[in-house]
Structure 1
Amino acid sequence: MRNKAWAAIALTRSGIIQARRLREEISGLTVYAMPRLCTDREKPIDRPIAEFAGEMFCRYDTIIFITACGIAVRAIAPHLRSKSSDPGVLVMDEQGGFVISLLSGHIGGANDAARLVEKLTGARAIITTASDAGGKIAVDTLAGRLGCAIDSLEDAKRVTALIVNGETVAIDSRRDIKVELPESIVSYREGCGAAGIIRVTNRVPEPANLPCAYLIEKSTVIGIGCRRGTGAKQIQELIDRELERLGIDRRSIKKLASIDIKSDEQGILKAAEHYGAQACFIDKERILAVEGDFAESGFVRASVGVGGVCEPCGFIASGGGRMLLGKTTANGVAISVWEEV
């Protein structure tokens, strides 16, 4: 599993000086260096650099080589897989004059990482992706800034090409987009004359007449009540069934919410992991404060001390969001579905 922090790789004395400088500025950055250069604050590179780089690919989201660019390229080349999964890779020269966004500039975040290093150290960021070089924004960059999943990388590339070439692209979202956009990206409306569309949604993508990139927002919250010992499979089956019926994309699930006494319920925890969602557990006192707005059950009150679980927990966890599905039960599981507004 990847560490969200950074790794810096240095092979020389000059390089490790820059790596230590970065460590002071970037919280959680781990410095890897040749054993002869390490203090007790660094970790040794104990194998050939290409083999070592492969391990870093699996462990870190951002890797900065403080080496010649060619060394970095040869080290990472055997481990490249896909722009959707490769980490962001930077290269910084040993004097700290330049920092290059080398790999995964958009989805992997290398472009933003290079800008951060520039801001913190004064090194000049070198960014070569066409959208950034032209003052535009790529669809995958926008997805990252909005915290969205990209439905199709091919569709995202097609719409990005329109943006880079100065075509008008419309953005369709039920919520305000709090990201600065170039003038060529306009709000969606009928007859706006757009050559392509970016749709930010929690719904299952549908075919479109124009090139269309779907960005799946994390905005769906599932309230859950269940019997003790209920398995993740039973929970997932009910969630999947109801989301399909509602036309909600499973990738949009942000939270699974239940009462605090369920915080060790393995079925809920494993289901949250399955969806890449947060398991959220609500204090009984907070549920009591809002339970009058929802249907109550004497059995539930006798069992856990509140009149209902799935509906009030979904309401609270969604920040008072919109209910898409009221209490629905199957095989000892009760869920409600909400979307943040």
Structure 2
Amino acid sequence: MKAVRLNLEDRQAWQKLQHVLTSLASDYMDLVAAEQTELKFEQQVLSIAFTLITSDANRDRLNEFTQNIDRYFNRLQLVGVRRIEWEFYVIGEAVPLLAQGRDIPFIAAPKPLPSNALVRDSRQPSRNAQSSPLARGKFKAGNLVRRFRGWLVSPKTIQAARTASRLTIRDPKGALAAIGTSAIAKFNDTIQWVDTFPWETWTKEKAQQIKRRHQRNLVRAVIEDVLILGVMLIALYWLTEVLSGPSINLALMPKQHHDTNITNVQYRCGNPAISLKNYICLGRGMSYDQVASILGSEGKPLGIDHNVGDRAVIVSWSSGEMNMNVTFLDDKLVSRAYRQFTASK
């Protein structure tokens, strides 16, 4: 088998190595927590830290795992690396339970690269501090803020903004066309990314992470799942309320009402029935078929409404509690009225 060469100072190679090691650890989910695998590359030494689920880990499984790691690195040619070390920590412990390592043939980089490309920042918290989800989230958020701020103050960004502003002033239509073309290209790239993203693999990895989390601490995992589900339900309810039409207090409606100046406000209709809720959702311009589907039955023609026109037809709907009249002109609703017999809504 042909050996694979990876330059760890290249971001893509570094991410590939992280992904492969995490996948190897996922095969031993009863032994290690794959999502807490950490890598560090300093002074030509590659250090890998695995987190054991329990301190009394199965030694045979652990030896099998380390042998697989060793076989994997035998197929690699790591540029700029003299030694590989891997350590096994127990959750909450700062001292490794097991440490192994070996020297490998050194391969010089083809050209000098920045020394701080992937070196751990000295201001970064210790390993135990980074092990908490809150600390990892703060660290990632800080990195995003620093990268965004650096992009804003970058001379290239400033120069591009000046050039774009000059082009917009000279040729507004051309600038709008260019923006439209760029938006279409970005949309096509997004669709292609969605089509090519390994959703099945991603879903399996997430399912394995959830399973490991439940195996480590079932009570805590269940509480977290309930909280997450509650937040999602609240967000869904809020989004439904925002996107849905306005509502009205039906208790304030009078026992009878006649409306010829129907507003364009669209209220939410209820289940097909002759009710106040469905009455207020009837809008100007609705056809007879639309009104009949909302009220849940066919209406009974009463006569001509000469106040509206010689072709205006009054159609009535009745139930045990309410009588409702709707006037149609050329099959379009122009007025509505109701009379309620009881206090029930």
Shorter-normalised TM-score: what interval?
A: under 0.3
TM-score, reference length from structure 1: 0.17
**Structure 1 or 2: more helix by fraction:** 2
* TM-score between the two structures when normalised by the length of structure 2: 0.17
More strand by share: 1
Bigger CA radius of gyration: 2
